[in-house]
């Protein structure tokens, strides 16, 4: 769970440095509503505390694992809800795992295809190239 509220005293640069999130991304997360509006100085500068830094670390780690912004928003709500069921969190994680598995299979198929094409290319001074021939097969006909 997030730490208890504290007195916000960190500038955006300090909060960014402590959380490992750039100031630009910090503002972006705030604009998406992943962070609640923060305190401001009389001159309008944002002030952050330990709670916001902790939340930013949560977001950064979620992004490191490839979760989408929508998934992160849902995970944040669950993280902040002490009455949540862990089954909800697991459902999100398993759906994300299935998506990663699909993307990994697609990447492996692309790699196999490209490796076959590269193997068939002589890579010499001749103009014929099976890689370009294969790519051209998918190109639309000239108009």
Is position 32 within any domain? yes
Q: Are residues 54 and 21 in the same domain?
A: yes
Residue 65: the pLDDT is: 97
Q: Are residues 13 and 61 in the same domain?
A: yes
Torsion of CA 98, 103, 108, 114, to 10 degrees: 170
Q: Are residues 3 and 50 in the same domain?
A: yes
Is position 79 within any domain? no
Residue 3: the pLDDT is: 45
Q: Read out DSSP for 60-104?
A: HHHHHTT--HHHHHHHHHHHH-TT--HHHHHHHHHHHHHHHHHHH
The CA distance from 90 to 84, in Å, is 11
Q: Are residues 60 and 89 in the same domain?
A: no
pTM: 0.78
Among 39, 66, 93, residue at a domain's last position: 66
Q: Are residues 61 and 15 in the same domain?
A: yes
Residue span of the structural domain in which 2 resides: 1-66
**Please, what is the angle between helix 86-120 and helix 130-137, to 10°?**
130
Residue 30: the pLDDT is: 93
Among 10, 37, 66, residue at a domain's last position: 66
Interval 122-132: pLDDT, tens: 888 888 898 99
Any idea what the CATH number is for the domain that residue 5 is in?
Answer: 1.10.1660.10
Residue 92: the pLDDT is: 97
Is position 62 within any domain? yes
Please, what is the end-to-end C-alpha distance for the chain in angstroms?
A: 61
Residue 2: the pLDDT is: 47
Residue 119: the pLDDT is: 92
Residue 27 burial (CB < 10 Å; 0-12/13-18/19+)? Answer: middle
Total domains in the fold of the chain? 2
Across the chain, which has 143 residues, the per-10-residue mean pLDDT values are 63 95 95 90 90 96 96 96 93 97 96 93 88 84 61
Q: Are residues 49 and 13 in the same domain?
A: yes
Query: Which two structure tokens, joined as six digits, stand for 123?
Result: 């890579």
Query: Which two structure tokens, joined as six digits, stand for 60?
Result: 């950064």
Q: Read out DSSP for 6-49?
A: ----B-HHHHHHHHT--HHHHHHHHHTTSSPPPEE-TT--EEB-
Is position 22 within any domain? yes
Residue 8: the pLDDT is: 73
- What DSSP state is assigned to residue 107? H
Residue 47: the pLDDT is: 93
Cα distances from 42 to residues 18, 45, 46, 59, 106, in angstroms, run: 24, 8, 10, 28, 52
């Amino acid at each position: 769970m997030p730490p208890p509220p504290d007195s916000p005293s960190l500038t955006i640069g300090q909060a960014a440095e402590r959380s490992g999130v750039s100031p630009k991304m910090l503002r972006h997360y705030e604009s998406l509503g992943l962070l609640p509006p923060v305190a401001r100085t009389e001159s309008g500068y944002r002030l952050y505390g330990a709670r916001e830094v902790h939340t930013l670390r949560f977001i950064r780690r979620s992004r490191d694992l490839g979760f989408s912004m929508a998934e992160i928003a849902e995970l944040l709500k669950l993280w902040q809800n002490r009455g949540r069921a862990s089954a909800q969190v697991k459902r999100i994680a398993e759906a994300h795992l299935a998506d990663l598995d699909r993307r990994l299979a697609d990447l492996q198929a692309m790699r196999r295809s490209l490796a076959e094409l590269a193997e068939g290319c002589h890579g010499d001074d001749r103009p014929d190239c099976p890689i370009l021939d294969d790519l051209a097969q998918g190109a639309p006909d000239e108009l």
